[in-house]
């Protein structure tokens, strides 16, 4: 077994077949097929079941996924460590992130990280629930995971760094009943049309509590993609309840943002495996810890501070 065989194996899984993997790797498909046949012979198990012109992972193949990712990541870490002796040069940090933490604190983190390590690429992968983030980190698909949850997470086998708590705010188009930076209560939204996410999110729970008050407030549209919410607000479709991570972007786009009391908080955390982090990932995690300390010292309600180097 060698690292190239593991690289080929993962490429077949990620690209959904031998032909697409061969094209992505710029190798001939017969060479790829022979390499996998040799790997299966060495292991004594079939890694794929051939179904028509396609393939699906066998049980043995599924069991090999995480160890393969870790082996290749460790090899990358060896190379990166050698390069790090003269400073952090090259490499990629892979971060799974949910939508709202992906607005902030991710923007601040990537901006500062790019200043400190301009030759390192930050690659983000979308996840929409805390469980999806945890799964991506546990599987080795991403080294780090940025999530927001209704309560602090305590996943077994993963390190958790609490970053901040984000209160929820009301975002609305200018010129309406909602005034910028003027605190409102749920009853003040009487008669308003609300833009909401699907049932199951903390944001939707807050919206449901508001509509249950019997004030004539109603949900006018339900969206899967959070990126659709701000454009819908700005065109006057309705108002939205969002984590405060959206505040700066919303105001720059011309929306008004008002604190709402009482409100829930989104608990934002960075999760990682206790080991197997590349130097680039360790540097990103250290930057996140710096940001968490500064925001904890700064308190809530002010502009987000920039993390130290």
Q: pLDDT for 90-139, tens place per residue?
A: 788 999 999 889 999 999 999 999 999 998 999 999 998 999 999 999 98
Torsion of CA 190, 253, 204, 153, to 10 degrees: -140
**Which pLDDT belongs to residue 83?**
56
d(C-alpha 292, C-alpha 78), whole Å: 29
**Beta-bridge mates of residue 51:** 54
d(C-alpha 145, C-alpha 124), whole Å: 9
How many Cα neighbours within 13 Å face the side chain of 281?
26
For 200-222, write each residue's pLDDT tens digit.
Answer: 788 888 888 888 876 778 899 99
Find, among 152, 156, 188, 154, the residue nearest to 172 by Cα.
188
**Which pLDDT belongs to residue 115?**
92
**Beta-bridge mates of residue 121:** 92
Contact present, 226 and 100 (Cβ < 8 Å): yes
d(C-alpha 68, C-alpha 6), whole Å: 6
Contact present, 180 and 258 (Cβ < 8 Å): yes
**Which pLDDT belongs to residue 160?**
96
Report how far apart, in Å, the C-alpha atoms of 269 and of each of 99, 100, 117, 183, 212 are.
13, 12, 23, 27, 30
d(C-alpha 162, C-alpha 231), whole Å: 30
d(C-alpha 142, C-alpha 51), whole Å: 29
d(C-alpha 159, C-alpha 273), whole Å: 6
Sign of CA dihedral 254, 258, 264, 267: positive
| pTM greater than 0.75 (yes/no) | no
How many Cα neighbours within 13 Å face the side chain of 17?
9
Spans of the chain below 50 pLDDT: 85-86, 300-303
d(C-alpha 194, C-alpha 220), whole Å: 6
d(C-alpha 66, C-alpha 12), whole Å: 14
**Which pLDDT belongs to residue 309?**
58
């Amino acid at each position: 077994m060698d690292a190239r065989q593991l690289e080929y194996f993962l490429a077949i899984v990620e690209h959904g077949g031998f032909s697409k993997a061969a094209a992505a790797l710029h190798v001939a498909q017969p060479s790829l097929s022979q390499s996998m046949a040799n790997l299966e012979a060495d292991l004594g198990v079939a890694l794929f079941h051939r179904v028509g012109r396609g393939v699906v992972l066998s049980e043995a193949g599924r069991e090999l996924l995480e160890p393969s990712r870790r082996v290749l990541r460790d090899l990358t870490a060896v190379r990166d460590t050698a390069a790090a002796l003269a400073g952090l040069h090259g490499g990629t940090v892979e971060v799974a992130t949910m939508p709202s933490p992906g607005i902030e604190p991710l923007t601040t983190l990537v901006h500062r990280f790019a200043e400190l390590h301009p030759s390192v690429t930050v690659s983000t992968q979308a996840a929409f629930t805390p469980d999806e983030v945890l799964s991506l980190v546990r599987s080795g698909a991403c080294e780090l995971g940025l999530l927001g949850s209704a309560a602090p997470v305590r996943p077994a086998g993963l390190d958790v760094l609490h970053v901040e708590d984000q209160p929820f705010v009301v975002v609305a188009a200018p010129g309406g009943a909602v005034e910028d930076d003027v605190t409102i209560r749920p009853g003040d939204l009487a008669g308003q049309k609300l833009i909401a996410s699907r049932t199951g999110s903390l944001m939707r729970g807050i919206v449901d509590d508001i509509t249950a008050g019997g004030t004539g407030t109603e949900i006018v549209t339900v969206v899967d993609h959070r990126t659709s919410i701000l454009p819908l607000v700005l065109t006057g479709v309705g108002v939205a309840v969002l984590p405060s991570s959206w505040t700066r972007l919303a105001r720059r786009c011309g929306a008004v943002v008002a604190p709402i009391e009482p409100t829930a908080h989104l608990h934002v955390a960075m999760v990682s495996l206790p080991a197997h982090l590349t130097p680039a990932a360790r540097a990103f995690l250290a930057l996140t810890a710096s940001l968490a300390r500064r925001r904890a010292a700064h308190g809530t309600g002010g502009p987000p501070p920039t993390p130290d180097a």
